[in-house]
Amino acid sequence: MKVLKRSTRYTPQESIDWLYVRMSKLEIDTLDRLADLTGLDKGTLSRYFRQERRPSIDVVGPLSTALQVSPETLLRALGALDR
């Protein structure tokens, strides 16, 4: 008998919630400010956290640095890795 495993990845809403909690802790008040800190487009950042787009490897470094988390933590928050 096969047991169905429930997904242990963040949902898009959980990713968005995680982002805004993290930004608040770091006193990053807007997505525009995060875009300035990372050099990434605000719309692209939004699509990453709504899980409409996966970040390329060259984006993970600047984004994890700006949010002060490990790349692994960031990828979990983006729904790309299991929690």
Write down the pLDDT at residue 1.
65
**Model confidence at 28, in pLDDT bands (50, 70, 90)?**
very high
**Stretch 33-50: mean pLDDT:** 96
User: What is the residue-wise DSSP string for 36-63?
Assistant: HHHT--HHHHHHHHTTSSPPPHHHHHHH
Considering only residues 44 and 4, tell me which one the structure prediction assigns the higher pLDDT.
44
Domains of the chain by range and CATH? 12-77 (1.10.260.40)
Token pair listed for 32: 């525009």
The count of other CB atoms within 10 Å of the CB of residue 32 is: 11
